[in-house]
Amino acid sequence: MKHRILAIALFSSTLPLFAADVKNVDVYRVPGRFGGWPANHGMWSWGNELLVGFSAGYYDGSRIGMHAIDHNKPEEHLLARSLDGGETWTIENPAEEGALLPLGQSLHGKVPPGFEKQTLKECPGDVDFTHPDFAMTVRMTNVHVGPSRFWYSTDRGHHWQGPFGLPQFDTPGIAARTDYIVNGPHDCMLFLTAGKKNRMEGRPICVRTTDSGKTWKFVSFIGPEPKGFSIMPSTVRLAPNELLTTLRVHGADKRWIDAWESKDDGVTWKFLSQPVADTGAGNPPSLLKLKDGRLCLTYGYRAAPFGIRAKLSSDNGKTWGDEIHLRDDAGGKDIGYPRSVERPDGKVVVVYYYFDQRSPDRFIGATIWKP
């Protein structure tokens, strides 16, 4: 009998682990449109008020590659806002105020009319990173050579200042997505992707300003230059001088997520663990430090069954628990790029782009769950 019980236990451990008490909602779902890539734009929270950025192009079902977006129609950069912890959402277009305008070859669609020329400014150094209603978004022009830019807001994303140019930091170029840590009123770190020596993407770097955004200085590379690429950091602070970042890594024939730690405030980095050994066709991580001290890592899984998954760590990223399936109903690999925040009630809101059996149109969805 003992042998039979053991066999049943081993068999059961191979079954997928699904999160309980999960709610999926639509953030932006418009017939004929393509909503995409929240990880590139950023997500912010002020209690139960949430804000997330994303791209909105047009769906093109004739494209059989990764992204079924019409390259000949405009792509907008929009915002979605929730005032009830992600249960319901409204869409805002900051371009109507002249902000967050799409620019350059990072666009998957066509540059909207009138947006072709955008002047990058020099930041005067008046950013208060600790303002209670602060938000910053960091964008790229090209995944290989840059340049990149940032905007900031001190009224919860209703109005934006910028775009302000970022240096190239003596690299072939900077492909910036939004990942930052505020250290003080004048002090902020950005975690970016730099072009490799061969001008291909990419390797992660840490940079810092201590003069309220006027100047940014290179701090460190995060790991050696990879043979494939290591990009799109998602970073949390563990202690006054300790940081943990997770990276999207592509090898020759495999895609995964690595975790690196710094115990000297970003000056040097050490490989810590591999939270996810396989993400299918590859997807960036979204890392949170929960109020109870655990780490919550969320990512898109671009292999069958396609969907959104998560992992938890109780020891600051040294080890990770079983893979948690948040949803497995995607129609293919053109999904993911999540960003996530924790609500005051301890539930996590994960926002990503997706498509399912109802329609091939790509939409922005949110999953609300309790780790």
340 strand-pairing partners: 350
What is the predicted pLDDT for the residue at 331?
A: 94
Q: Are 78 and 56 in contact (CB under 8 A)?
A: yes
C-alpha 87, offset from chain centre = 20
pLDDT of 111 > 80? The answer is no
Tens digit of each residue's pLDDT (9 = 90 or more) over 295-319:
999 999 999 999 999 999 999 999 9
Q: Output the pLDDT for position 284.
A: 98
**Residue 277, token pair as written in the block:** 């050994």
On the 0-12 / 13-18 / 19+ scale of CB atoms within 10 A, 67 is: middle
- What are the φ/ψ torsions at residue 8 (nearest 5 degrees)? -65, -40
Is residue 7 over pLDDT 80? no
| Percent of the chain scoring above 70 in pLDDT | 92
Q: Residue 291: give the domain boundaries.
A: 2-32+113-369
Residue 103 lies in a domain: no
pLDDT value at residue 62: 87
328: in domain = yes
Q: What CA–CA distance (Å, rounded) separates 281 from 251?
A: 11
CATH of residue 126: 2.120.10.10
Give the model confidence (pLDDT) of 330-366 as tens digits.
999 999 999 999 999 999 999 999 999 888 999 999 9
- What does pLDDT average to over the chain? 92
Mean pLDDT of 164-192: 96
Residue 61 lies in a domain: no
Q: Give the three-state DSSP class for 321.
A: coil
Tokens for 78?
């929009």
Does 90 map to a domain?
Answer: no
* Domain contains 60: no
What are the tens digits of pLDDT across the range 235-250?
Answer: 999 999 999 999 999 9
pLDDT computed for residue 109 by the predictor: 74
48 found inside a domain: no
pLDDT digits (tens, 9 = 90+) for 116-170: 556 789 999 999 999 999 999 999 886 666 789 999 999 999 999 999 999 999 9
With bands split at pLDDT 50, 70 and 90, how would you rate the model's confidence at 6?
very low
**Residue position matching structure tokens 């907008």:** 76
**C-alpha to C-alpha distance for 53 and 326, rounded to whole angstroms:** 21
Helix ranges (H only) for the chain are 2-12, 38-41
Sign for the pseudo-dihedral over CA of 142, 334, 280, 327: positive
Instruction: Check pLDDT > 50 for residue 9.
Output: no
* Residue whose pair of structure tokens reads 């791209």 in the numeric block: 55
Q: For residue 249, is it within any domain? A: yes
Question: Exposed, middle or buried, 48 (CB in 10 Å: 0-12/13-18/19+)?
Answer: middle
Q: What is the number of domains present in the chain?
A: 1
DSSP secondary structure letters along 216-227: -EEEEESSSPPS
- Is residue 37 in a domain? no
